[in-house]
Amino acid sequence: MIELIQVNHQFAIGKKGKERVVPVLHHIDLHVKKGEIVAIVGRSGSGKSTLLNLISGYIRPTSGTIRVAEQDVTGLSEGDWANFRLAHLGFIFQSFQLIPSMTAFENAELPLVLKGIALSERKKRVMELLEQMGVAEYAGHYPGELSGGQQQRVSIARSLMLNPPIVLADEPTGSLDTDNERQLLALIRELNRDLGITFVLITHDDQVAATAHRTVTLKDGYLLNAYGKGAEYSYEA
């Protein structure tokens, strides 16, 4: 479902002509199978967010190949990437990324609007998912009127609106209390089990990592799996 082959990434810092090259990721080989939950862990600055941005196409690798949903996406244009994300990827963010001036309904509805779905169909789909997330009664409320857990559930509803096969989560429980974290992790397991959604979780939280089928570690820009650098793993969906 997701494959990175010998991916390297570096940033150039400083004025043009006097840039200093800063390597961030080195020789990354990562294979995430369909229906798998993979947690990527590592200290701050290890390259976790850079790796997620590469998988989602917000930055391009310096070298290497990236395949998502059986398509080579390494060289996609920004426009093609935008369309690809809309069709294949859902996102869960630590800060929820809800638009303050829009209601819960309108926030969740946004992917359908971008896709050009008819209003009648949008209403049905949005309310179904808000109901599934347990926040249908807050459809007319603004993000500032919702708790952190409720905002995160609206965010998840939005991420699932177009039935993406893959969901990328960046510190999904970072802004939640213990009870809401427990509920969110149970929901991720449920969505994975019932809908077969593939999840990649970026986290430093042991409880989040324990939710995954497999944990891999980033250290100093190198990817280790649960059994050490270069070791093999097996997974059955």
What's the burial of 4, exposed, middle or buried (CB within 10 Å: 0-12/13-18/19+)? buried
Estimate to the nearest angstrom the gap between the alpha carbon of 6 and the chain centroid: 21
Q: Tell whether 230 is covered by a domain.
A: no
User: Who contacts 89 (Cβ-Cβ below 8 Å, separation ≥6)?
Assistant: 56, 68, 164, 166, 167, 168
Q: Does the pLDDT of residue 236 top 50, yes or no?
A: no
Q: Does the pLDDT of residue 235 top 50, yes or no?
A: no
Q: Tell whether 205 is covered by a domain.
A: yes
| Placement of tokens 């917000």 in the chain | 58
Question: Tokens representing 78?
Answer: 């920004």
The answer to whether 183 touches 148, Cβ cutoff 8 Å, is: no
Name the band, by pLDDT with cuts 50, 70 and 90, for residue 225.
low
User: Using CA atoms, how far apart are residues 21 and 12, in angstroms rounded to an integer?
Assistant: 5
Q: What pLDDT is stored for residue 5 in this prediction?
A: 95
In CATH, what number is assigned to the domain containing residue 151? 3.40.50.300
Q: Does the pLDDT of residue 230 top 80, yes or no?
A: no
pLDDT digits (tens, 9 = 90+) for 134-161: 999 999 999 999 999 999 999 999 999 9
Amino acid identity at 28: I
Higher pLDDT, 224 or 41: 41
pLDDT digits (tens, 9 = 90+) for 180-213: 889 989 999 999 999 999 999 999 888 889 999 9
| Placement of tokens 């808000």 in the chain | 130
Q: What pLDDT is stored for residue 12 in this prediction?
A: 84
Q: Tell whether 45 is covered by a domain.
A: yes
By mean pLDDT, which of 9-18, 128-137, 141-150, 211-220 is the weakest?
9-18
Q: Which domain holds residue 181?
A: 2-225
Q: Tell whether 235 is covered by a domain.
A: no
Mean pLDDT, residues 54-76 taken together: 94
Share of the chain above pLDDT 90, in %: 69
Mean pLDDT, residues 210-221 taken together: 92
Number of separate domains in the chain: 1
Q: Tell whether 175 is covered by a domain.
A: yes
Q: What pLDDT is stored for residue 231 in this prediction?
A: 35
Q: What pLDDT is stored for residue 176 in this prediction?
A: 85
Q: Tell whether 237 is covered by a domain.
A: no
Q: What pLDDT is stored for residue 157 in this prediction?
A: 94
Q: Does the pLDDT of residue 227 top 50, yes or no?
A: no
Q: Tell whether 74 is covered by a domain.
A: yes
Compute the mean pLDDT over every residue in the chain, rounded to the nearest whole number.
Answer: 89
Give the pTM.
0.85
